[in-house]
Structure 1
Amino acid sequence: MDTNERLLHASSFGAAAVAYAEHRPDYAQAAVRWALAPAPGPRVLDLGAGTGKLTATLVALGAEVIAVEPDPGMLAELRRSLPSVRALSGSAEAIPLPDGSVDAVLAGNAMHWFDMAVAGPELARVLAPGGVLAGLWNLMDDQVDWVAGLAQVSGSAAVGPRDTPASWRAETAGMHLPKDGGPARFGAPEQAGFPHGQRRTADSLVATLATRAGVLVMPEPEQGALLGRIRAFLAGRPETARGEFTLPMLTGVLRVRRL
């Protein structure tokens, strides 16, 4: 994905902020705890916080959270749903916080949008020594037969290279971590996956996939055709044809420590 395409995809979510808040999953608490485990203190920046999916989990775990989000539509939804959280306009490339002011920076389904050539020194700047940088991604467990079929029918626009466990491990193994933190440096990256799930119906799963960037930027006729194929697939599977079901997932975590 070139720079212009990446920016187009990254800026697509604001118009769908309400649907994103309603349909996107939260994050497995065990995954968030693992991400934070080496942090030297409780101060956490949720960077690229979107509508607050990860923010809410951090609050539930007792972290002192500041949320930073560049998209006005997503930020407004976050402020509406989590009014007690300090939520600021900003980006990974221009973080509106002082030097050494947080013990951890977490990013939920967002780190792949960062321009690490610019963001790397910014992340190092705001992290206290020994602080943790971690990206979290919710992954569809394609070891389950019907989920593998869904991924195949959905194509890369709806189920991309960071959306299933094996491809996520390959795609994130150092790709989205800072290559240079200025005077500061980062240690070796670690990956881990944690079981998770989301209660869905066929309609709500289609609505979830419709909030993926690759789908949001599609021309309307192509988008409608894709969602129609997904809907037909779900209607033809006994696991998903009627009522509620659990979408099997993992929350994958990539973490690194600031030295």
Structure 2
Amino acid sequence: MGIRGVSLVGMANDPDLLARRASSFGEVAREYAEHRPDYPPYGIAWALAGCAHAVRDVLDLAAGTGALTRGLVATGHRITAVEPDDQMRAELSRRVPEVPALAGTAEEIPLPDNSTDAVMVGQAFHWFDPERALTEIARVLRPGGALGLLWNGEDDSVGWVRELVRLNTSSVSRKSRTMNELPTHPSFGAFEERAFPHSQRRTAESLTATIGTHSHTTVATAQERTEVLSRVRSFLDTNPATAEGEFDLPLRTLVARATHHP
């Protein structure tokens, strides 16, 4: 699932590939934590503002290695993280030790009923079974609680970024499609959507490493992975905007929020 205009994974007709991509991140957990971007505080705040009452407890669902977790900690709320992959969860605990990190999935959340004010999902909702996940999220949310979905993506309105996106493809990524609508569920009101400008400080080397943590490269064959990353690095090394030292990678953080109405 995704937000209008966002190219997200949509491979319901290929469940084996979907499962491989969804479970591929543990193999690169350390690199994922090192190179994936954070989320803009104003985007996080807007998502949490979907809660109809004061926020105390927040669940970071499918928390990965903690990119969103760290931003949530900065809000001052009580944060709990849930992550299914053991290696990703271990990296999260190493980097954000003050946050309890529980094993669990979006479809089976290890929290009691009515136990949290907001559920936040960074870069992961498209891996969920949406009907089962939304039912389970509704179970753990208090009435009036907020569901926030966040995705970071390259801002391809910038010319060189658009070329980078074109080069950064594999035989797996071509199976992606654009999702035009967010799901509906009787326990939630309609989703609101907003895009926030964001950026990540990178070098040619570190941006290539970031792309190496994307699922379309982690599940590609070794040869194809090498070809994709070599193509990307060659472009970054010769592109005037990225060839010399550090630069800002333009991003757009797309956020959707909905309020729980039991």
TM-score by length of 1: 0.91
Cα distance 1:104–1:139, how it changes in 2: closer, same or farther (>3 A)?
Answer: same
**Contiguous gaps of at least 5 residues in structure 1:** none
2:179 paired residue number: 171
The DSSP-based 3-state class of the residue aligned with 1:155 is coil
Distance 1:209 1:229, change over 3 A: same
Could you report, residue by residue, the CA deviation over 1:113-162 in whole angstroms, capped at 9, with x for unpaired residues?
11123212111100111111111001111111100110111126797899
Q: Percent identity?
A: 49
2:73 to 31, 50, 59: 59
How many equivalent residue pairs? Answer: 247
> Is the contact between residue 158 and residue 209 of structure 1 (CA under 8 Å) also seen in structure 2?
no
Separation (CA, whole Å) in 2 of partners of 1:34 and 1:171: 22
Q: Deviations over 1:6-40 (max 9, x none)?
A: 11101000010000000000001110000001222
Give the Cα separation in 2 of the matches to 1:160 and 1:85.
37
In the alignment, is the contact (CA less than 8 A) between 1:49 and 1:69 conserved in 2? yes
**What's the secondary structure of 1:250's corresponding residue?**
strand
- The separation in 1 between residues aligned to 2:68 and 2:171, in whole angstroms, is 23
Task: State the match for 1:201 in structure 2.
Answer: 203
Q: Is 2:52 the counterpart of 1:14?
A: no
Is 1:158–1:212's contact at 8 Å kept on the other side of the alignment? no
CA distance in 1, matches of 2:209, 2:218: 11
**Which residue pairs with 1:148 in the alignment?**
162
Match of 1:236 among 221, 228, 238: 238
Is 1:223 matched up with 2:231?
no
- TM-aligned CA distance change 1:32 to 1:157, over 3 Å: farther
Residue matched to 1:92: 106
- Name the structure 1 match of 2:127: 113
Mapped to 1, the partners of 2:66 and 2:172 lie a distance apart of 21
Q: Which residue of 1 aligns with 2:63?
A: 49
Distance 1:159 1:27 in 2: 23
TM-score, with structure 2 as normaliser? 0.90
| 1:23 equivalenced with 2:35 (yes/no) | yes
Task: Verify the 8 A CA contact 1:173 1:189 in the aligned structure 2.
Answer: no
> Any unmatched runs of 5+ in structure 2?
1-10
Q: Does the 8 Å CA contact 2:60/2:82 hold for their aligned counterparts?
A: yes
C-alpha contact (below 8 Å) 1:104/1:132 kept by paired residues: yes
Cα distance in 1 between the residues matched to 2:130 and 2:112: 19
Larger RCO of the pair (alpha carbons < 8 Å, separation 6+): 2
| SS state at 2:138 partner | helix
